[in-house]
Amino acid sequence: MKAKLKVIEGHLMTGISYILPVIIGASLIVGLAKLVGLGFGVSDLNAYKDAGGILHGAYLMEQVGWTGIGLMNVLLAGFIAYSIADKSGLAAGFIGGALASSTNAGFIGAVIAGFFAGYVALFVKRKIQIQGSAAGLVPLLILPLITVGLTGLLMSVLLGGPLGALNTALIEWIKGMVADGTSTLALALILGAMIGFDLGGPVNKSAWMAGNALFLSGVYLPAILVNIAIVIPPLGYGLATLIRKRNFSPTFREAGRGGLVMGIIGITEGAIPFTLVNPLKLIPLNVIACAAGSGVAALLGVHDIMPPIGGLYGFFSVGNWWAYLIGALTGALVIGIGANLLVNFSEKKEPQKPEHDQKQKEEDDFDLVLEG
């Protein structure tokens, strides 16, 4: 059972890794277009849809970004199916993801559609064998007919309505939490703790995807809270090497410099080599630090003014930018001080690399958590 769950997790992580560059790039385009508008004192670029000049260009670029962001469900479902069944799963996966968007089934629907399409395609490939000159009909006609038909039936007739209602209810619930200051703090603590738990693993990715699923619905604060938590672990261990250099071997001091860079740009995996030295002590520290950082930012009133941009430099895309920075630095200091008190990194150990599925190593160049 554990092995099967690991395989399923691998397929999900592959799907997420493929959509990361799309979501990140599209979010940056939207953010930059918004900044151009704000530079001219304009917060809503839609008013310049039919105008001319720079602001019309900014509007067009914003639409480019939103188009990319809108592909999230399509790509997620398609590449989950691809991970399971290779190219045979793509058609049904993409269509299932599109149906998840059109029925408002959202991220959950896209995941279900991707797995269903992938495993149906894998079954058809294995069970339907035609010999001779008609063999080409399987990949070109029979397989697409069965996989697309069954996936379409699942999403449009069986699951689209119920999942759409569930997704709408969840979004309204989160909106209510965002509107309530106390609930916002609880949301910040939960999302921050999830980000710090496994540094790019399934719990971390679940929090990141939750933030981005709400992002697509125009609810930006969860994504901001996730972005703050993401920079904390690598930045914290980088600070730890500066606070007490003698506690770190030369290898770890070098890794600390990389951690500072990865913290600034928002790559949470930069903390993995340090955490693996003593996971029993450092995983709880990471969880506490990320939850504390996001919580402090929430208490100080960080809020959205535009689609947020990830990384430490993403402070310029949020309201109360100083709350964003204070939250991130608070969490980083928790790790910077706590790691030195809890663990000796000066022994001559090489930073360990996490084990990944070989296919993940070959395909997942972008399996990084950068937010936005």
Residue ranges in 199-320 assigned as alpha helix (H): 202-216, 221-243, 250-265, 272-275, 279-299
pTM: 0.70
- Would you call 303 helix, strand, or coil by DSSP? strand
Q: Are 122 and 86 in contact (CB under 8 A)?
A: no
Please, what's the b/e burial string for 63-76 (b: 16 or more CB within 10 A of its CB; e: otherwise)? bebbebbebbbbbb
pLDDT digit string, tens, across residues 124-168: 988 877 776 666 777 778 888 999 999 999 998 888 888 888 777
Which among 344, 305, 336 has a CA at the least distance from the CA of 321? 305
pLDDT recorded at residue 229: 96
Q: Are 264 and 313 in contact (CB under 8 A)?
A: yes
d(CA 112, CA 42): 40
Q: How large is the average pLDDT for residues 166-189? A: 76
Q: Are 223 and 76 in contact (CB under 8 A)?
A: no
pLDDT reading at 360 higher than 60: no
pLDDT recorded at residue 361: 45
d(CA 162, CA 172): 15
CA pseudo-torsion sign 186, 263, 21, 37: positive
d(CA 99, CA 214): 18
pLDDT digit string, tens, across residues 18-44: 887 887 788 778 778 877 887 887 767
pLDDT recorded at residue 272: 86
pLDDT recorded at residue 158: 87
pLDDT digit string, tens, across residues 267-319: 888 898 899 889 899 999 999 999 999 999 999 999 988 778 888 988 988 98
* Residue with more model confidence, 84 or 306: 84
pLDDT recorded at residue 12: 86
* Range with the poorest average pLDDT among 175-179, 222-226, 295-299, 320-324: 175-179
Q: How large is the average pLDDT for residues 334-343? A: 96
pLDDT recorded at residue 153: 92
pLDDT reading at 350 higher than 80: no
pLDDT digit string, tens, across residues 56-77: 998 999 899 888 878 888 999 9
